[in-house]
Structure 1
Amino acid sequence: MAQKGYTTPCEQRHSGWFSRIVRKKQSSSSQKRSPSLRQKNGPIWHEANNSDLNPLSLNQKSSLRRRLRQNNTDFHTGVCKCCGTVLRYPSDVPRIRCMVCQTSYMIEENINECVDICENSAVSLPELSLSTLNKYIKDYEDLQSNGKGTFGTEENKLSSLENFLFVSFSSHKCLNQSFKLTQSGNCSYYSANLNFNELHAFYSALQSLPTARPMISLLKAASILLRHPPQENDVQTIRWLLILMELPTLADSLIGTNDQNSQSQTSLDKCTEPELLIKSISYDILKRIIGISAHFDHKCTRYFSHWWSHLPDSLFIRKIEILNLYITFQLTRCINYEIYSSNSISSSSFKNPYATDDINYKKTLRAHFVRPTSKSSDFGLSIRIPLFISLSGRHLATSNETIAERDGNNHSEKLDDDHVVKLKLQQYCDEWHLRTAATVLSLFFCANQTHGKVPEAIFYNNLVDYINVKQDFDSWQFSKNNDKHEKEVAKNNDVSLLMMDYLRAESNSAYLNIVSDDGATLKKPSFTFCRYPFLISLGAKITILEHEAKRKMERKTEEAFIRSVNKKLPFDIYFKIRVRRSFITEDSLRSIKEHRHDFKKSLKIEFVNEPGVDGGGLKKEWFLLLTKELFDPSKKLFSYYNPSNLCYFSISTVNNEELYYLVGAVLGLAIYNSTILDLKLPRALYKKLLGHKVTLDDFTQLDQNAGKGLKKLLLLENVEELSIYFEVSFKDVEGQLITHELISNGSNVLVNDTNKYEYVERYLNFFLSDICKSRFDSFQRGFYNVVGGNALSLFTPKEIEQILIGDSNEGAIDTMMMRSITRYKGFESNDKVISWFWHYFDSCVPEVQKKILFFVTGTYRLPATGLPSLHFKISRISAEKGCSRLPTSHTCFNELCLSDYESEVEFRNKMEIAINNCEGFELE
């Protein structure tokens, strides 16, 4: 929006000497653009004035369509390079404009862009560099101190600096030739040949000036360039976009734009006019940079991803944070528009695409955001959404206690999970801002997967947890399976399948809200977050996994009921396993083999001759005992490597495929039933489960000595002097020495500098895949028979490891955090017994703390999402004084039961006896 004392980028484009140059270029170019057509029919799609910047009126559109029909003009289709909108335009027009993002494109190849000043020989551009900028700045400082200057008055001097920046940043060709590391070099796969240090110093020098006008001129020029992007889409001509990506004002345009208090003034309202103008233009630049970057061809995206992978970690993280902040901003915009549309009589203003896509969109609404007063609402939004957002797009306060305090409610009140759902699918599925930002962020994620620069959690955007992730998953799953289903319908030509489609559409349309305009068919949403799972936090992914598991459990229960009604037989809605402790492996294998089709049912465990109803504790006990026996070295199913202490499939000729199938099924059941296991498996196993390629680093994690030797081999020269051949020698589980050739006649093929990479690759494949193929296939079959589904594909190997084995928490447990998540029944937080317990817990070494954790929860590990997601409860056994019962626990509910002890010494003695001398569900 225009500010007093300043002009918008569009107005600046047609002011002063620059306007004369533009009009001169347009007049010279218009002679080449079908003059006969222009004389007969007047302006069709582009005029020399600013008609390409303003939408056509209805009369103009009708007249345009009528003239085009009379001339029998052919139409072409294309895709907007910024927002991805499909464009349909006459074949004989020189310029078109996307009506969604307002980006203009030149159609005729022989027409140059009117904004590229480099094409005009009458204008000579100085070198765009830090030294050139410093000359302007130094002359300006001399002007202020002496009253003199090379360019005369202060206004002329400032005008020259602004013109220099405006002209330079209006030209993509000028930018492509600027800030090079080596003047003679070009972009390569390994380097963009961009001097980031000089570029950052250039921007810092501009920001240090006492006036913002030069920076505003630069931003206006960049905005015009992005509104009229060049046609070239080549690796050597996209450096200009990297230069604009480093603008320091991009992130600032998104900070402080969310209301923390609807009654208070936002930080944007407090900005001065130049600051507000900088924020507005910077937001426009940022969204166009993201949009254009998201629509590069495959080669350019590969180069971009590889360039970013070589950035310093600080710059790499900074860009991830900006993109996450942009996604957070767009989601917040969707939330605020939904609130406004649900609390106002007329919501027509926010539907205007020209009014909504702006950093100042809240002023456009002209409304106070009155949030609903109930916990839930018809549009799926909750009053309890805390929009306190940091630079990385993460919440600074999201706890129930903080939210309750803000709303003036009781701290002990917990929110129902059903009311935590905030945003429905139809409110964001067509947002091109989210789609383009997620696409660009996926390039950073791929770069990180290859080079392992930062933890995967850096990519999480916790505001995504405030959408209906279950609905998002169902929609994504519907779109993913729809093409396959349509092929089956066409192949079988079955009328019953068409009827099933109709019934499914009727049931899903109300839930997914993705009905086409005619209401007859379901439409595929253009964007779902499940297409970009790296944005979804591990907690939300676990929610999706449990949602899919629950749906399958319910389906299996319905099938069992229908089967029992048809056959008039009793049915069981649970998958029950009845075992003896001394024969736990044999009994478990028998039960799993006899009930292969019941894996999707809810699991219930029964120990023979032991009382107890499985509310979760018996299940934890079964998993613990069974995995302890299956992974015992004496079983010879898995071999342990030193010094990593990780285990992998044993090298053996004995056929144990049934036991490996059991191991895979047990791991799948643990994930399916949200149970943490105490296992020490390498990263390579999880990668192979998900079909990812294993690397030398994965092998080194398992066998550190061999892995380090292979890495040294790749760094050496004259490798043939080591006399290594394409064969390996190893010992099987029985201790017998075996020699194997990695290639045909490998014992006679010497490893040299040329084939050493092939040798390492074959070495890895042999020990991680080939030698254990049958055993891994059985293991994988058992695993996928339980958890095979689309939800598992959302996880990375690291995340699968986390949900399977939890957080190992090698150090001491944070006592203050434990106290904050603990609930009490029969006790108060300041009772003496509770004080004794926390004093005892805090004084224990980490090993004893884990024993206490195991005594209460049934596992030594914390949940995958960390200590805050642990449910911990302390209850009173008896209110009688002098009661000296030993502490007990309900592992089903993570509940510790204590009595009223006479002294702290007695309490400590009882706790030590309890945690050191119990197993199962009665003391030994």
Structure 2
Amino acid sequence: MTSPPSSNGNQSWISKMWSRQASFFNPSVQVPTTTPSGELTEMSQDGLYSNTLMSNSHNDSSQGRHPSGSTTSQSQKTYPSLIVDSCRCCGTMLKYPAGIGKVRCLVCQTHLTINEDIGEPCERPQETASRPLSYPFIKDFINQCSTKRKSAGDDHNPHRVFKPLEDMLYEAFSSFSIINNSFRLSSLAPPSYRSPNLNFNEAKKSFALLLSLPTNRPFYKLLLGALYLLKHPPPMRNPADISWLLILLEIPILPDCLISGIDSCTDGLAPDLKASCYDVLKRVIGLLSYSERKITSRLTYWWSRLPHDEFVKKIDFINLYITFQLTRCINYELYNSVIQPGSYLNVSMSDDINFKENLNAHFIRPTSKSSDFGLLIGLPVYISSGGRRTDISSGSSFWSGKKEPKEHEVKIRLQQYGGDWHLRTAGRLASFLFIANKKNKKVSDAVFYNNLVDYVNVKQDFDAWQFNASTKKHEQSTANKDSLQLVVDYLQAETKASYLGLSNANGTLRKSSFTFCQFPFLLSLAAKISILEHEAKRMMERKAEEAFIQSLNKKMPFDVYFKVRVRRNFITPDSLRCIKSHQTDFKKLLRVEFVDEPGIDAGGLKKEWFLLLTKDLFNADKGLFSYDETSGLCWFAISHLDNDELYYLVGVVLGLAIYNSTILDLQLPKALYKKLMGQKVTLNDFIQLNPDVGHNFKRLLKLDDVSDLELYFTVSYADIFGDMHHEDLIRDGSSIKVTNENKYEYVERYCSFFLNDKVKAPFKSFLNGFQHVIGGNALSLFTPEEIELILIGEDYRNQKIDIEILKSVTKYNGFSETDAVVKWFWDYFERKSAADQRKILLFITGSDRLPATGLPSLTFKITKLVDRNLNRLPIAHTCFNELCLYAYPSEEIFVSKLDKAIWYSEGFGLR
């Protein structure tokens, strides 16, 4: 063993160790660069640019030596400063010397112009004069080719017939000025804020016409020309500069190349055409996703104005691309895990659309169990010729455990997709569609969910997302830490990185450049709920450990639970007392006890406590909330009374309900959930809360002249005691008349007065209570609509429950589906009205709402009780959503007993 290092050596060891971690905290990507003369150069492994790729010159003795031992070119000594930038196609970080002209990204192989005048387009040197494309022009050109060859008697070879068309298409689609000005609605008008000024129908017709030709070579040359331009993109600074990308995105066979082979190709070009389509698609997505902010803002608005069907097609298209990329990552990982070296030679692991054909694997559809997760495509799994799964549990395996998991338990690990730039760019582009949907609500949030992401290990993904955020904070605070703290931070980072699989083979650390939590709209609600429960469980375990350690240190008993002991008739004051005396216990596991009542809380008492407490707190007579007569929704009551403690209690209760996965029966507007998530409330939110006044404002904004209405910037309202009040919406509002010029401001201030200004104090107390419980990052993954779903569940008050789905999720203990009592129960349930079905559900589960993820995720159980005395009533275990029935001799007795149990029960007995 070596002797311990000296103090100076120890400091040096710390520096070296921390520099290793710094490579993780500040990763860089080696990219080729160019010399000041414009020649393209390549970055060497130590980050210094060396050999010139486009010349025959080599390094010689005249070059200097870098202190690390690597050579330094003459151009580096002349231009020592490095510029940090990012690739405009894949987003990879680039470092290149100042003063160069072009850079090539080694990740996506895109040639980027650095020092070119913004106003000058990047044209091909061989370009000749040509006109912008249009459907009539392309159609005439095709007819000319056919007519010319027929007159010459050479119409048997389609390749020779359409050779001029091939040349024209290649030239047009490799020229920025030509393709960017093609398929215009108006040749004179530039793109506006409301429209890109593109005739997408004409572009689609043109592509369809070219694909209908007897040869695919013209379309193939079109793709090759587009690829040249995509690999050498011009600087794009204005919204008008992305017209060519939007045109390329309309190529009809782009989605097909992600699904299967192109059957229409008959001349041997199918693989090449498919690969070119994929190459075009990934680069279009990359360039659009990393466009300038003002371009993406305009693009988002354009997409928000799309018809519903076209908008959904865009979402499905991007999701298909994400599904393909995720599947590709899985297959490469599986290939490396299963196929032994040398068993299948010459397999390229590069980014290839035809990768499935290079892998020795079979693709099967998931089993019936895995299909419950909503997977719509076949999950790639290796199977032997006999039809059994290949054993991949030994050696370097895809699965982390020693035992092969069941197929429906397959989870995709972060290491398989965390470094994929295709997923990152697709996620960014999908986020533009998500923002567009928020501007003009077209579809529900669920339309953006990607089914394959349900197979991702979302808990690991969430931890990596938080880990990346924590290292970012670390970078900002490293300078203020001593050597010992740096060592501790380093060891913690190593441990975390090992758990997340972020350690390289050489021992260095690396960040995951992509996590699905960066784009949470791709995660299904079930996946987000699992993340929330994961964070809640971890916090509960941590609090329990802290309580145990404190009990050992102070030799005093500490409870590992947050216990709430209340009297049924004084549920609000008793609950407030418990909450005030246990401010630090909210993140412990909740246990509820009703005084002088039997029962151990395994979940049922907790549900009942939430139900009774919210019923009391949200009662209009309590004075905390008022209800609109039209909408039936409640909002913070306008009052001069100080109810901060009670509003704080309401916030804590709602936070505890989410934290403990309990559904509440509340009538809250979308505005509350948006304010909880820090989002701005709008007129539409006010309309939902107060439809009468809100719709009048809609009509007001559509009027041509509002001066005759004699409206002023004032508001009149009544508080909870019926007293009338008058206030100005702005300073001296009573003397400022509403006109056509300021009517939008008037409506905005009126809505904000009731949704923000008058409820500022009670909402602040409510928010403090809520955030005291829900303070983690998991909640930020949800949208306001999703928060509403997990808090109040699925509202089906006006429709009956689908009994077939409920039957499919029901488990039986002592009974079978064919037993008479079971049949009587289902007949009984089906005959009831929607309101009565809710009452039955309340009796059995403790809540009359369905889970946020729908009826299929509900746990439901029917158990047989054995007793000679059949006069007893049925029993419900709300902790386990379990209905316990006796083997009653007749249906009449069964119905009578069940009616009494459901309609006369309260707590653990009858009223």
TM-score by length of 2: 0.85
1:403-422 equivalence runs, <5 A: 420=409, 422=411
Equivalent position of 1:13 in the other structure: none
Quick check: 1:449 aligned with 2:438?
A: yes
For residues 332-358 of structure 1, the C-alpha deviation after alignment (integer angstroms, 9 at most, x for no partner) is: 111111111111233999999x74211
1:173-192 equivalence runs, <5 A: 173-192=177-196
Deviation at 1:502, TM superposition (A): 3.4
Equivalent position of 2:907 in the other structure: 920
Aligned CA distance change for structure 1 residues 199 and 607 (closer, same or farther; 3 Å): same
1:104 to 108, 111, 117: 111
1:816 to 804, 827, 831: 804
Structure with the bigger percentage of helix: 1
Equivalent position of 1:363 in the other structure: 357
Equivalent position of 2:581 in the other structure: 594
CA distance in structure 2 between the aligned counterparts of 1:628 and 1:805, rounded to whole angstroms: 13
Q: Aligned with 2:888: secondary structure?
A: coil
1:274-285 equivalence runs, <5 A: 274-285=269-280
Aligned CA distance change for structure 1 residues 134 and 418 (closer, same or farther; 3 Å): closer
Deviation at 1:518, TM superposition (A): 6.5
For residues 263-295 of structure 1, the C-alpha deviation after alignment (integer angstroms, 9 at most, x for no partner) is: xxxx99999843333221111111001111111
Aligned CA distance change for structure 1 residues 114 and 486 (closer, same or farther; 3 Å): closer
2:814 to 821, 826, 833: 826
Residues 682 and 698 of structure 1 are in contact (CA less than 8 Å); yes or no, is this contact kept in structure 2? Answer: yes
Q: Aligned with 1:433: secondary structure?
A: helix
State which drifts further: 55-64 or 470-479. 55-64
Equivalent position of 2:397 in the other structure: none
For residues 573-606 of structure 1, the C-alpha deviation after alignment (integer angstroms, 9 at most, x for no partner) is: 1000011111011110110011111001000000
Residues 605 and 614 of structure 1 are in contact (CA less than 8 Å); yes or no, is this contact kept in structure 2? Answer: yes
CA distance in structure 2 between the aligned counterparts of 1:761 and 1:512, rounded to whole angstroms: 47
Deviation at 1:734, TM superposition (A): 0.1
Equivalent position of 1:378 in the other structure: none
State which drifts further: 448-457 or 73-82. 73-82
State which drifts further: 154-163 or 65-74. 65-74
1:41-120 equivalence runs, <5 A: 69-70=73-74, 72=77, 74=79, 76-77=82-83, 78-89=85-96, 95-107=102-114, 109=116, 116=123
CA distance in structure 2 between the aligned counterparts of 1:95 and 1:358, rounded to whole angstroms: 26
Equivalent position of 2:843 in the other structure: 855
1:428-443 equivalence runs, <5 A: 428-443=417-432
State which drifts further: 224-233 or 851-860. 224-233
2:304 to 303, 309, 312: 309
2:856 to 868, 871, 887: 868
1:779-858 equivalence runs, <5 A: 779-809=766-796, 810-858=798-846
CA distance in structure 2 between the aligned counterparts of 1:55 and 1:345, rounded to whole angstroms: 38
Quick check: 1:220 aligned with 2:232?
A: no
Aligned CA distance change for structure 1 residues 159 and 485 (closer, same or farther; 3 Å): closer
Aligned CA distance change for structure 1 residues 206 and 653 (closer, same or farther; 3 Å): same
Deviation at 1:559, TM superposition (A): 1.2
Deviation at 1:309, TM superposition (A): 1.1
Q: Aligned with 1:769: secondary structure?
A: helix
1:719-758 equivalence runs, <5 A: 719-758=706-745
Equivalent position of 2:209 in the other structure: 205
Deviation at 1:96, TM superposition (A): 3.9
Equivalent position of 2:461 in the other structure: 472
Q: Which runs of 5+ in 2 are unaligned?
A: 1-33, 44-50, 64-70, 380-386, 390-403
Residues 341 and 347 of structure 1 are in contact (CA less than 8 Å); yes or no, is this contact kept in structure 2? Answer: no
Letter matched to residue 445 of structure 1: F
Residues 825 and 873 of structure 1 are in contact (CA less than 8 Å); yes or no, is this contact kept in structure 2? Answer: yes
Deviation at 1:503, TM superposition (A): 4.0
CA distance in structure 1 between the aligned counterparts of 2:285 and 2:132, rounded to whole angstroms: 27
Residues 884 and 900 of structure 1 are in contact (CA less than 8 Å); yes or no, is this contact kept in structure 2? Answer: no
CA distance in structure 1 between the aligned counterparts of 2:335 and 2:659, rounded to whole angstroms: 40
For residues 312-347 of structure 1, the C-alpha deviation after alignment (integer angstroms, 9 at most, x for no partner) is: 121111111111111111111111111111112339
How many residue pairs get matched?
839
Equivalent position of 1:168 in the other structure: 172
For residues 157-196 of structure 1, the C-alpha deviation after alignment (integer angstroms, 9 at most, x for no partner) is: 3222222222221212111211111111001222111112
Residues 603 and 879 of structure 2 are in contact (CA less than 8 Å); yes or no, is this contact kept in structure 1? Answer: yes
Quick check: 1:132 aligned with 2:141?
A: no
2:614 to 592, 602, 627: 627
State which drifts further: 615-624 or 416-425. 416-425
Superposed CA RMSD in Å reads 3.6
Residues 366 and 407 of structure 2 are in contact (CA less than 8 Å); yes or no, is this contact kept in structure 1? Answer: no
CA distance in structure 2 between the aligned counterparts of 1:268 and 1:851, rounded to whole angstroms: 56
TM-score by length of 1: 0.84
For residues 513-565 of structure 1, the C-alpha deviation after alignment (integer angstroms, 9 at most, x for no partner) is: 22467646x54321111111111111111111111111111111111111111
CA distance in structure 1 between the aligned counterparts of 2:114 and 2:144, rounded to whole angstroms: 43
1:25-36 equivalence runs, <5 A: none
Aligned CA distance change for structure 1 residues 370 and 155 (closer, same or farther; 3 Å): closer
Deviation at 1:136, TM superposition (A): 3.4
Aligned CA distance change for structure 1 residues 130 and 233 (closer, same or farther; 3 Å): same
Letter matched to residue 181 of structure 1: L
CA distance in structure 1 between the aligned counterparts of 2:766 and 2:115, rounded to whole angstroms: 60
CA distance in structure 1 between the aligned counterparts of 2:369 and 2:219, rounded to whole angstroms: 34
Aligned CA distance change for structure 1 residues 100 and 389 (closer, same or farther; 3 Å): farther
Letter matched to residue 484 of structure 1: K
CA distance in structure 2 between the aligned counterparts of 1:551 and 1:37, rounded to whole angstroms: 55
Aligned CA distance change for structure 1 residues 407 and 626 (closer, same or farther; 3 Å): farther
Letter matched to residue 763 of structure 2: F
CA distance in structure 1 between the aligned counterparts of 2:742 and 2:119, rounded to whole angstroms: 50
Equivalent position of 1:903 in the other structure: 890
CA distance in structure 2 between the aligned counterparts of 1:527 and 1:744, rounded to whole angstroms: 49
For residues 434-493 of structure 1, the C-alpha deviation after alignment (integer angstroms, 9 at most, x for no partner) is: 1111011111111111111211111111211212111111121122233334545544x4
Q: Which runs of 5+ in 1 are unaligned?
A: 1-32, 47-53, 258-266, 372-381, 399-405, 409-414
Quick check: 1:395 aligned with 2:389?
A: no
Letter matched to residue 130 of structure 2: L
Q: Percent identity?
A: 49
Aligned CA distance change for structure 1 residues 226 and 55 (closer, same or farther; 3 Å): farther
Deviation at 1:799, TM superposition (A): 0.7
Aligned CA distance change for structure 1 residues 303 and 856 (closer, same or farther; 3 Å): same
Deviation at 1:297, TM superposition (A): 1.1
CA distance in structure 2 between the aligned counterparts of 1:629 and 1:142, rounded to whole angstroms: 85
CA distance in structure 1 between the aligned counterparts of 2:840 and 2:260, rounded to whole angstroms: 44
Deviation at 1:421, TM superposition (A): 5.3
Equivalent position of 1:6 in the other structure: none
For residues 295-322 of structure 1, the C-alpha deviation after alignment (integer angstroms, 9 at most, x for no partner) is: 1111111111111111112111111111
Residues 180 and 244 of structure 2 are in contact (CA less than 8 Å); yes or no, is this contact kept in structure 1? Answer: yes
Equivalent position of 2:750 in the other structure: 763
Residues 45 and 93 of structure 1 are in contact (CA less than 8 Å); yes or no, is this contact kept in structure 2? Answer: no
CA distance in structure 2 between the aligned counterparts of 1:384 and 1:57, rounded to whole angstroms: 54
Residues 574 and 601 of structure 1 are in contact (CA less than 8 Å); yes or no, is this contact kept in structure 2? Answer: yes
Deviation at 1:642, TM superposition (A): 2.1
Quick check: 1:562 aligned with 2:569?
A: no
Equivalent position of 2:681 in the other structure: 694
Residues 528 and 782 of structure 2 are in contact (CA less than 8 Å); yes or no, is this contact kept in structure 1? Answer: yes
Deviation at 1:82, TM superposition (A): 1.2
Q: Aligned with 1:596: secondary structure?
A: coil
CA distance in structure 1 between the aligned counterparts of 2:710 and 2:665, rounded to whole angstroms: 43
Q: Aligned with 2:641: secondary structure?
A: coil
CA distance in structure 1 between the aligned counterparts of 2:581 and 2:86, rounded to whole angstroms: 56
